[in-house]
Structure 1
């Protein structure tokens, strides 16, 4: 069974309980690669993961998300000029968006240990997670997957060498808690799509 079948379910009619047991047996963390661990934890947190082999697939998957949610002709919050072209191609408004339907952004890193997305002021300015739109589309590359949050902080330090960004924050919860969960207290769940481009 491929890693993607294991992570995203198979089409066999086995019960959910059987699938859960199989997944628990298949995924002991010490046997997983960092990529597998990230994908497993990200999906467990409620994130929607779209693997892309090239830039063309990124554009196609982005358009599929727009179509699925009827986000055409919407306002978008986006601060990264390298992403403006994909918004322009889809005729989306991002300059001075007053009521953005979603955030379109890159990220600093993807953290395997907790399946979270690490941001800084380079992507989200000074916005706190609860101030961001409820819907988020992230564009990232497989080379950005790191094992631990401390690795992510070290990577930021190395990348910016003295000109450190502020507002470093991680978003981990991508769906509302089904029951009262004290671990989510004070966090705001986001409807998050990840367009992950293979670059290794």
Structure 2
């Protein structure tokens, strides 16, 4: 009789452990985004002030021995004013690209862009090195919410060339038929500014 009690206890214990391990974990939007972003090879720096954004940008440039960047965003140029570097307005494959974005997609860890950031250029034709400035208020749950956000924010003048970077390791190819022949893998740093 004692052996049956032991077997029953071990069965009950293992089924309880299994139930605990199989429970779905619900992360907040920012935790979900960070988890998915990092698992794809992305690097991010969390910033609580604009001075911290400028300081982190300086460290990224120093770490990679970059002395020039491409930036055409007027607001971001204000951040680079404090830094001693050469700013290019015209895109180049060899010069890191400093830009903002439309949204951060939490459930995939992707970054959504439009013609507001990349103009009419395809992501694959831009530099393989990106430094992206984004705010925590740009976090959305999924791509549907991101596209709805673009439609809502730009009523009557919806931007074109909407695309996303989905891989943050240059040597990784995306098998998705939507990006076939148009690799959008980038060596990407994200400067995430807390604005909420």
TM-score by length of 2: 0.80
CA distance in 2, matches of 1:132, 1:29: 38
The equivalent position to 1:149 in structure 2, one of 134, 143, 146, is 143
Structure 2's unaligned 5+ residue stretches are 1-19
The equivalent position to 2:57 in structure 1, one of 62, 81, 92, is 62
The answer to whether structure 1 residue 38 and structure 2 residue 33 are counterparts is yes
The equivalent position to 1:77 in structure 2, one of 55, 66, 70, is 70
The one-character-per-residue Cα deviations of 1:50-83 (angstroms, maximum 9, x if unpaired) are 10111111111000001100112x2x22221111
Structure 1's unaligned 5+ residue stretches are 1-24
Partner of 2:190: 194
Contact 2:92–2:127, Cα closer than 8 Å, also in 1: no
The one-character-per-residue Cα deviations of 1:163-187 (angstroms, maximum 9, x if unpaired) are 1100000111010456x76348532
1:87-98 counterparts in 2 under 5 A? 87-90=80-83, 91-96=85-90
CA distance in 2, matches of 1:71, 1:144: 28
The Cα RMSD (Å) is 2.2
Partner of 1:49: 44
Partner of 1:7: none
TM-score by length of 1: 0.78
Q: Say which SS state the counterpart of residue 144 (structure 2) adopts.
A: helix
CA distance in 2, matches of 1:59, 1:52: 9
* Offset, 1:31: 1.8
Larger radius of gyration: 2
CA distance in 2, matches of 1:122, 1:101: 19
Change (3 A) 1:151 1:135: same
CA distance in 2, matches of 1:122, 1:79: 10
* Offset, 1:133: 0.1
Aligned positions, number: 172
Q: Say which SS state the counterpart of residue 126 (structure 1) adopts.
A: coil
The one-character-per-residue Cα deviations of 1:11-70 (angstroms, maximum 9, x if unpaired) are xxxxxxxxxxxxxx99x7642111111000000111001101111111110000011001
CA distance in 2, matches of 1:185, 1:46: 21
* Offset, 1:189: 1.4
CA distance in 1, matches of 2:94, 2:36: 28
